[in-house]
């Protein structure tokens, strides 16, 4: 009697241990973002388009970058924060079964100046409701204190209402990558959105290790692409001996670098470890190049002209346009509604800023 009870208890314990182990393991594989090369190449095209300054061509998806793998995309909201020189769009890619939110990098000064300033950015803002998480205020406010946040959240909600549960792909390059991450965190934590997936290109560090770990908990499905000697992912600096006080990247980095054999050069795409600061990825080289920052997968990620927040918009988009008291512009339309751009109308573009 006693013995069989003991045996049963033991058996139960074993079962518990086994199933507990399995649960933990399942959760682990669940949280491992899978790098998809094909998707990354499509998303970098979407990211290049957000650098377009001709709002008509962008809104009607007829720009030179709105072709090829991104054909058939439907923008439902284009947000231009003229005050802070920021730009983002939200739209639906039916072939990917996804809503795409794309953020542009900084355009305000020369890229060289912006990169140099990154070095000095302090961890100066406690991230709300996440004890011990700290970020640089500039990254946080560029999304939270501008027209971008209400514009993006509203558009994503509208798209979901029409198309139902789609994947939510949030992307950004450079400063736009930092905003993409902060936006994805906001959508997940404050707007209860599921299936949020982030891909960033040449993104700077945003916050400390506590922030990185909250971020990974809420937005595990994140791929952070870095390229060769791109300086920006090395900034603001990481000091491995001051883990409490230093900036810290979140995972999962994918480092693109070239291997050359004489005239034969090919690109390796290294999927890095879970730490966020894999010493064998981009950290294994000097961050010494601005040029490597501006080209990902062979795609140019910059506006035609720097140092300008020039906005060009055609008159026939007036009915889709809202301008606030500060001059910020939102172009918005219902999902499913097609805006045609005719050459004649496009020819009449006017400078509205």
Residues near ligand NAG (CB under 6 A) are 36, 38-39, 83, 96, 141, 145
Q: Can you read off the two tokens belonging to residue 12?
A: 């139960």
Rounded Cα–Cα distance for residues 238 and 25 (Å): 31
Q: Which residues are within 8 A (CB) of 189 and not within 5 positions of it... i.e. 6 or more apart?
A: 129, 218
Residue 313 CB, nearest distance to ligand NAG (Å)? 22
Residue 147 CB, nearest distance to ligand NAG (Å)? 10
CB 223 within 8 A of CB 6: no
Nearest residue to 121 (alpha-carbon basis) of 8, 18, 214, 206? 206
CB 88 within 8 A of CB 347: no
Beta strand 74-81 pairing with 299-300: unpaired
Rounded Cα–Cα distance for residues 145 and 11 (Å): 57
């Amino acid at each position: 009697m006693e013995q069989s009870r003991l045996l049963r208890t033991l058996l139960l314990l074993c079962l518990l241990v086994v199933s507990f182990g399995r649960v933990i393991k399942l959760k682990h594989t669940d949280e491992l973002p899978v790098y998809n090369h094909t998707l990354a190449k499509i998303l970098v095209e979407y990211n290049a388009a957000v650098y377009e300054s001709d709002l008509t061509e962008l809104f009607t998806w007829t720009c030179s970058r709105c072709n090829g793998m991104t054909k058939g995309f439907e923008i439902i909201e284009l947000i231009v924060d003229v005050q802070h020189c920021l730009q983002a769009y939200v739209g639906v890619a039916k072939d990917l079964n996804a809503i795409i939110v794309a953020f542009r990098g900084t355009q305000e000064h020369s890229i060289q100046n912006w990169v140099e300033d990154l070095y000095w950015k302090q961890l100066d803002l406690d991230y709300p409701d996440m004890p011990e998480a700290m970020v640089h205020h500039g990254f946080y406010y560029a999304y939270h204190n501008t027209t971008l946040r209400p514009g993006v959240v509203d558009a994503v909600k509208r798209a979901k209402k029409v198309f139902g549960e789609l994947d939510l792909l949030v992307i950004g390059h450079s400063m736009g990558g930092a905003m993409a991450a902060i936006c994805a965190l906001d959508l997940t934590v404050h707007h209860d959105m599921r299936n949020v997936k982030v891909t960033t290109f040449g993104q700077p560090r945003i916050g400390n290790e506590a922030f990185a770990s909250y971020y990974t908990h809420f937005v595990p499905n994140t791929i952070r692409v870095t390229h060769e000697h791109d300086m920006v992912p090395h900034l603001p600096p990481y000091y491995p001996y001051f883990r409490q006080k230093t900036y810290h990247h979140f995972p999962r980095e994918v480092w693109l670098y070239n291997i050359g054999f004489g005239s034969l050069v090919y690109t390796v795409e290294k999927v890095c470890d879970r730490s966020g600061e894999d010493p064998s990825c981009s950290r294994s080289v000097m961050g010494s190049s601005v040029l490597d920052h501006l080209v990902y997968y062979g795609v140019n990620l910059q506006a035609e002209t720097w140092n300008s927040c020039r906005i060009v918009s055609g008159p026939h988009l007036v009915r889709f346009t809202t301008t606030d008291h500060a001059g910020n512009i939102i172009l918005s339309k219902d999902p499913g509604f097609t805006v045609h751009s005719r050459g004649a109308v496009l020819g009449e573009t006017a400078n509205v800023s």
